[in-house]
Chain A
Amino acid sequence: MPDKTVEKVATATGEPIPAVATDAGPAATGKPRSLWSDAWHDLRRNPLFLVSAVLIVFLLVMAIWPSLFTSASPRDVENLARDFRQPPQWGHVFGRDWLGFDGQGRSIYARIVYGARASITVGVGVTVCVTILGTIVGMIAGYFGGWIDTLLSRMTDIFLGIPFLLGALVVLNTFEKRSVWVVILALAFLGWTQIARVARGAVITIKQADYVVAAKALGASTTRILMRHILPNALAPIIVVATIALGGYIAAEATLSFLGIGLTEPTVSWGGDVSTGRELLRIAPHVLIIPSVMVSITVLSFLMFGDAVRNALDPKLR
């Protein structure tokens, strides 16, 4: 985290916006910042970003190293004598009975800790796959145009026509055992269209830029133009859409697992725990509510993160 002095220097030198400073500023102030360093400059002082970043780091640690948080196992029966009606022991912070036990006597706290991995992996995995696939399709369609564009755009329309949740249910229903990877591939298969559209739009604008024409005139190969000139400039809108979508994919995985068509045992997932806690809603609501709240907190962290990134990268929206 930046300390006070660094921040002060940054403000002093960075006050006039670089674009203005080039011709309007009486005293030119240092090097003009690139879009990315400008965004980073904004992000560092955005409380929304800091809070969400801390939460996300916390969730990531939980996902990578769950045994750091609890010694209890998420799959073993930790409570034989007492039953799920026993309310959470709020005093026993981080203890195995902290958040109570579920219908099968398993520690809810341990299941929360171990469930983070599935949610985060699916969210990040789908976002990465969707971004790569969507960017490739969008770039090819936007750059080459003509019949290639028509073909790829129609294909995008076709996939957009399939309702996301329904499509995911149909794909996943065909698998008996659904691991994290199956869910990632299924969601990516259906979800790439949004990024493809954004990437295509960005590429169409950029390919008319002078630097692209210049690169072409200098004899740069198509691959070089795409990778060195077009991709870096089209990246900002793609990243904005991708970061915001991440939270949505986590919510989608939880919803599918809740419907019983997402992750299956032995994968520990919050959505699945909500669905098993369902019949206890009347007598032991905490069995259902705790994993639900955890899903919401995770989605919220990623949404806030995405919001902050968007505000920093897309100054038009401010």
Chain B
Amino acid sequence: MGRYVARRLLQMIPVFIGSTFIIFFMMYALPGDPVRAMMGDQAYDPAVVASIKKDLGLDQPIIQQYVTYMGNLVQGDFGTQIASGRPIADIIADAFPVTIRLTIFAFTFVSLVGIGLGIVAGLKPDTLRDRGLLTLTLFLVSMPSFVLGFLLQYLLAFQWKVTDPTVTDSENWGQLMLPAIVLASLSLAYVARLTRTSIAENLRSDYMRTAVAKGLPRRRIIGVHLMRNSLIPVVTFLGIEVGNLMTGAIVTEGIFNVRGIGVEIYEALSRREGATVVGIASLMVLIYLAASLIVDLLYAVLDPRIRYA
């Protein structure tokens, strides 16, 4: 087990370097200049621009810039935002908890409601209940989050006035509820469908028939025999979804005006602030990799037949 984790951690390093380098490369090697963007329309002296660039290290070759950047990042130095002059670590420290809160909220929603609906549908495949839930999830999947977001914002906040249209206090769980539901909807629908298929398939398996024939109580058959086997693909999917939920927050935070990582990254992009974008993106890649490692380790818990050497 320990060796397996160590090996997986080592394997994560090239993937992390590769993913962040691609993002870094796209941010810096492609056209667009943050220093000139900062100058705006005012007249500027090319020499001043050149010296600012030199100070920021933007005149060096791209590989050199990447190595310097990553060297600082590993030591916890995210750099400074060019436009505001604030350390990027501070910006992340302010915005990250907000997004984490939103993501955790949405993730809980996805796991509980998604798996719940999947179980309800999967235990009675091809009944009216199953078909109804499948149709519902199909509708949810076909609504991009901005469609659902605006629809709910319009109905709940403007028409019926039950919620606030935007989030004014990101610590308020009640206010975060609507953005979390919107963020969760797509993953929730996928999780429900996946759980449903998995359960419906395993219901017909030999070990289920054996368990029923042995006369085990229904709770044990479903809760232990069926669930443990059916949840493996769902757990895999949930692990991957953590990363998608965090990037999906870019849209949801924009709609509901939540001051999280999504809004920061969006604003940084429009100002071509490479350091901010790459810093946040690196964190997201790291979270994605960590989540997929945790998922792999969870397999052994769910299925004792899987052993790690």
Contacts and interface: CB of A to CB of B under 8 A. Distances in A.
B23 A255 contact: no
Interface residues of A, number: 44
A215 to B, nearest CB: 34
Contacts, number: 131
B281 A161 contact: no
B23 A162 contact: yes
User: Which label, helix, strand, loop or mixed, suits the secondary structure of the A interface?
Assistant: helix
A296 B15 contact: no
B266 A259 contact: yes
A149 to B, nearest CB: 15
A167 B30 CA distance: 14
Interface in B3-37: 14-16, 18-19, 22-23, 26-27, 30-32
B250 A169 contact: yes
A161 B144 contact: no
B236 interface: no
Contacts of A77: none
Interface in B272-304: 272, 277, 281, 284-285, 288-289
Interface in A264-312: 271, 274, 278, 281-282, 285, 288-289, 292-293, 295-297, 299-300, 303-304, 307
A40 interface: no
Contact of B154 (A274, A285, A303, A304): A285
Contacts of B208: none
Contacts of A163: 243-244, 246-247, 281, 284-285, 288
A167 B138 contact: no
B153 interface: yes
A28 B298 CA distance: 49
Contacts of A295: 144, 147
24 contacts: A154-B15, A158-B14, A163-B246, A163-B285, A167-B22, A170-B27, A171-B26, A173-B32, A173-B270, A174-B26, A174-B31, A251-B142, A254-B146, A255-B251, A274-B146, A282-B158, A285-B154, A289-B150, A292-B147, A295-B147, A296-B144, A299-B144, A303-B141, A304-B138
Q: Nearest 4 pairs between A and B by C-beta?
A: A158-B18, A300-B142, A161-B19, A174-B30
Interface of A: 154-155, 157-159, 161-167, 169-171, 173-174, 247, 251, 254-255, 258-259, 261, 271, 274, 278, 281-282, 285, 288-289, 292-293, 295-297, 299-300, 303-304, 307, 316-317
